[in-house]
Amino acid sequence: MRKSKKISRVVGLLFGTLVLGTNPAAGSGQSIGTISHIHSVRAFGDDVILGTHEGLFRYVDAKTVQSMGPEKFDIMGLAVSGKRLYASGHPGVGSKLPEPVGLLLSTDSGKSWKKLGLQGEVDFHLLESASSDMYGVDSGSGDLLYSKNSGKSWVSRGKNLLSSIAINPTKAGVALALREGKLISTQKSFTTMRAIDSALSFTSIDWLGNSLLATSGKSLYRSGDQGMTWKKVSDFPENLSTVTQSSKIIAVVSGNSIYKSINGGKTFKKM
C-alpha cells in the first residue's frame, strides 16, 4: 500500500469517549493513546486504520496518525473487504456529501469515495462486509439491515440487538454475532438464529478464512469450529474491546492501546 507523505499528529484533537464493544448505535468515539473520538478500528493489509470524527486515518503510534485521503467526514461505520473499504456517517465541514452520507466505497485506500446508495437516508453505526454479504445497523431506525449483493439492495432484519458481527467469508448468509456477550449463530442471514453455549463472555469477534477470533476480558481466543470451542491465543495488560484481522495482521485494542501481530497471533507488539 502506498503511504501518503502527510503525517498528522493528533493530541486531543477530536472529541468524545466510549469503550468499543458497547452498543455501536450509541455513536460516540473511543480514545486510543492521545487520539480520541475513534468509531472503528480495522486491519487493512499491513496497516491498522481508524474511522474517526475527522475522517479516515492510518494508525502509526499512540500520538501519531496519517491521513488517508482529502475527504474529511465523520466515519461512524467502517468495513473492510479485501482491498475495498466501505464507510458511512456524516459529512464534514465543507464536504459536498449528503447528510447522512449513506454507503460509500473506496477502492484506492481511502483517497476517493464513490456513492453506492442510501444517501440522505441511512447512517450506519455498525458496518460489516465479507464477500458479497454486508450488515449495517441504521442509527435512525435502530434496525439491522442486510445486503446479499455488496450494498446494492437491503432488507431489514428488525431492531438490532447485536454488538458485533463476524461474517463467514466463504458461505453466504452464515455469520456469528454477539448479544449481551453471548454467541449467536445464523445460517440464513439472521432470519433464523441460535445461541451457542460458552462459559466465556465476549466483547468482539472477527472472521477471516478459517480463522475466527474473539475477545473476552484480557484474552484473545481462536475457534476452528465456528465458535463451538475456543482456544486462548494471548493475554494482554487490560481488557480487550476490539479484534480485527487481515490476511497479514491481527490487531487488538487493549485498554487505550493497540497491539499488532504479524505472525498469526504467536506474538503481539504494542504499536
3-class DSSP string for the chain:
CCCCCCCEECCCCCCCCCCECECHHHCCCEEECCEEEEEEEEEECCEEEEEECCEEEEEEECCEEEECCCCCCEEEEEEEECCEEEEEEECCCCCCCCCCCCEEEECCCCCCCEEEECCCCCCEEEEEEECCEEEEEECCCCEEEEECCCCCCCEEEEECCCCEEEECCCCCCCEEEEECCEEEEECCCCCCCEEECCCCCCCEEEEECCEEEEEECCEEEEECCCCCCCEEEEECCCCEEEEEECCCCEEEEECCEEEEECCCCCCCEEC
Q: How many CB atoms lie within 10 A of CB 217?
A: 15
Instruction: Single out the residue of 187, 159, 165 nearest to residue 177, CA to CA.
Output: 165
Beta bridge partners of 84: 81
pLDDT at 63: 86
Q: CA 26: distance to chain centroid? A: 15
In percent, the amount of the chain with pLDDT more than 90 equals 80
Q: In this structure, are residues 145 and 121 in contact, taking their beta carbons and an 8 Å threshold?
A: no
pLDDT at 27: 41
Domain with residue 256: its CATH number is 2.130.10.10
Beta bridge partners of 206: 213
Is the torsion defined by CA of 113, 114, 119, 120 positive or negative?
positive
**pLDDT tens readout for residues 203-234:** 999 999 888 999 999 999 999 999 999 999 99
The residue ranking higher by pLDDT, 98 or 27, is 98
| Band (95; pLDDT cuts 50, 70, 90) | confident
For 10-19, 20-29, 93-102, which range has the lowest pLDDT when averaged over its residues?
10-19
Give domain status of residue 3, yes or no. no
pLDDT at 29: 62
Q: Average pLDDT of 128-141? A: 95
Domain that holds residue 202: 8-270
Give domain status of residue 2, yes or no. no
**pLDDT tens readout for residues 142-191:** 999 999 999 999 999 999 999 999 999 999 999 999 999 999 999 999 99
Cα gap 252→113, rounded to integer Å: 27
Q: Which three cell numbers stand for residue 257?
A: 492501546
| Band (93; pLDDT cuts 50, 70, 90) | confident
Which residues, including other chains, have CB under 8 Å from residue 251's CB and lie 6 or more apart? 41, 43, 48, 242, 243, 244, 245, 258, 259, 260, 261, 271
Cα gap 78→140, rounded to integer Å: 17
pLDDT at 2: 37
Q: Average pLDDT of 17-21? A: 32
| Band (271; pLDDT cuts 50, 70, 90) | very high
pLDDT at 159: 96
**pLDDT tens readout for residues 241-269:** 999 999 999 999 999 999 999 999 999 99
Please state the φ and ψ torsions of residue 193, each to the nearest 5 degrees.
-160, 165
Tell whether the model's pLDDT for residue 20 goes beyond 50: no
Q: How far is CA 87 from CA 133, 147, 254, in A?
A: 15, 15, 24
| Band (23; pLDDT cuts 50, 70, 90) | very low
Q: How many CB atoms lie within 10 A of CB 145?
A: 22
**pLDDT tens readout for residues 44-62:** 999 999 999 889 999 999 8
Question: How many domains does the chain fold into?
Answer: 1
Tell whether the model's pLDDT for residue 10 goes beyond 70: no
* Mean of the per-residue pLDDT values of the chain: 88
